[in-house]
A = this chain, B = another copy of it.
């Protein structure tokens, strides 16, 4: 990854980008029964920020979001969705001409950072274990934080996280979820824990199992979770064909 970082660093110039438009990515991962979000710790200010960037003059927003995700996680081909544009004029009202996290040797136009920016919010669901967390040119650290840790974010970045979580909760009501967040094989309690973590509340075990099985998106495997006792829970996998169908058509089916 070193080469890639070096490339990104030396090639950053504000003149490459359109004024007024940025993007921010809420990258969700699930680990140790907690929903995490990938964050950057900015140089010098030590504030937290979402992985994001600006829109190059010749690229689409989707290309920009994929570029950011690839640079921060090493991953491509991941679930990525535009969910909201944040356009409060006050969000960038106090932007300085040169934020403290900008290195002195970085080429930039004096007015670029002080301009008003609207930011396009994306959220992504990734396999926590596959992410190679990599800081960007403005940050000294790239790390997972629990979604409930709200302190020390710049601008409206924690509001963006909360809004992404809200959209994820809505998605949970009418689309299947989990394929990008769980390992290939998982137990029913693990799946339930994922749902509980996203929803922020406990669910009844029997109701959850009855409801999730009624959507017919799971294959029950003949094997139990390894390392457990004889009574350890059975493993499941997603039936990808039916999962994709439910993703397209919604859990309540077609009219």
Set of chain B residues within 8 Å of A59, measured between Cβ atoms: 89
Q: Which residue of B lies closest to A64 (CB)?
A: B87
The one of B21, B208, B252, B255 that contacts A203, using a Cβ cutoff of 8 Å: B255
The bracket for how many chain A residues form the interface is 35 or more
How far, in angstroms, from A243 to B250 measured CA to CA in the complex? 19
Stretch in A4-12, A102-110, A170-178 touching the partner? A170-178
Q: Which residue of B lies closest to A83 (CB)?
A: B82
How far, in angstroms, from A45 to B58 measured CA to CA in the complex? 28
B251/A118 in contact, CB under 8 A: no
B82/A85 in contact, CB under 8 A: yes
With A19-B19, A20-B18, A116-B57 known as contacts, the answer to whether A208 contacts B173 (CB < 8 A) is no
How far, in angstroms, from A250 to B211 measured CA to CA in the complex? 15
A77-114 residues with Cβ-Cβ distance < 8 A to B are 82, 84-85, 87-89
How far, in angstroms, from A172 to B255 measured CA to CA in the complex? 8
A255/B199 in contact, CB under 8 A: yes
A55/B255 in contact, CB under 8 A: no
Set of chain B residues within 8 Å of A21, measured between Cβ atoms: 20-21, 118
The one of B60, B89, B252 that contacts A174, using a Cβ cutoff of 8 Å: B252
Is A195 interfacial (CB-CB < 8 Å)? yes
Is A249 interfacial (CB-CB < 8 Å)? yes
Is A13 interfacial (CB-CB < 8 Å)? no
Q: 20 pairs across A/B with beta carbons < 8 Å?
A: A19-B20, A20-B20, A21-B118, A55-B87, A55-B118, A57-B116, A58-B89, A59-B89, A60-B87, A85-B85, A85-B120, A170-B250, A172-B255, A173-B174, A173-B249, A174-B250, A203-B255, A208-B255, A250-B252, A252-B252
What is A's interface to B at a CB cutoff of 8 Å? 18-21, 55, 57-62, 82, 84-85, 87-89, 116, 118, 120, 170, 172-174, 195, 199, 203, 208, 211, 249-255
18 more A-B contacts (CB under 8 A) besides A61-B85, A61-B87, A251-B252?
A18-B20, A18-B116, A19-B20, A55-B87, A55-B118, A58-B89, A60-B87, A60-B88, A82-B85, A85-B85, A85-B120, A173-B249, A173-B255, A174-B251, A174-B252, A195-B255, A199-B255, A252-B252
